Amino acid sequence: MNSLAIASADFNISFGTAGAVQDMPAFAIEAERPADKAAREALLDRAMGPGRKRKSSEALRRGRLPAEGLALVARSADGAVLGTVRLWNVTLGAGGRPALLLGPLAVEPSVKSAGIGSALMRQAIAEARDLGHGAILLVGDEPYYGRFGFSAERTGELAMPGPYERHRLLALELTQGALDGACGTITASGRRKRNERTRAA
């Protein structure tokens, strides 16, 4: 993706824009950097609370790296991380059908109404489609994620590897038919973090 190229689609704000909406921060979407780790984790703690690491979706992320090219941040004009979203490689059922799992999506609580979450979602979906992925899954509220095309219509035969609310398992096909016949438990398939490989050796 082009670094610092995408601004909020909801408010049409970008770096250097004159007359930006008052109190709405200028931001741009770009690839996450290694140096963003501490800021990202602190933002997730503030936005999602201490229970975030006990979610079933976390089991699919633990010890793994995000899908190549699909870890994004919303960055303010002064370099602060205002939002984050990552996508992860997973497989669906025994057949090993590839897909992506999106999450967590989080925005700095003080700027939750600035369109940052929507901008992150739209860019993540566009990047995944451009990279040739067939489908994205997530666990979330359909009234919010439905605006991006997610629904529970294609996930009835799929399951998360732990406790979850079935009606909140949503999916978006990036290519028609990508989830035809998909069934079984979702499992992690992404690249392992280096320290995980080292311990296993």
pTM equals: 0.84
How far apart are the C-alpha atoms of 5 and 28, rounded to whole Å? 6
Pairing label, strands 97-102, 135-139:
parallel
Domains and CATH numbers, the chain: 27-200 (3.40.630.30)
How far apart are the C-alpha atoms of 12 and 68, rounded to whole Å? 28
Question: Which tokens hold the place of 19?
Answer: 């007359």
* Contact assessment for residue 137 and residue 154, using Cβ atoms and an 8 Å cutoff: no
Digitized pLDDT (tens) for each residue of the chain, 201 residues in all: 533 333 332 222 233 333 344 466 799 999 999 999 999 999 999 998 877 877 888 989 999 999 999 999 999 999 999 999 999 999 999 888 999 999 999 999 999 889 999 999 999 999 999 999 999 999 999 999 999 999 999 999 999 998 899 999 999 999 999 999 999 999 999 999 886 444 443
Residue 83 CA, chain-centre distance (Å), reads 11
How far apart are the C-alpha atoms of 130 and 122, rounded to whole Å? 12
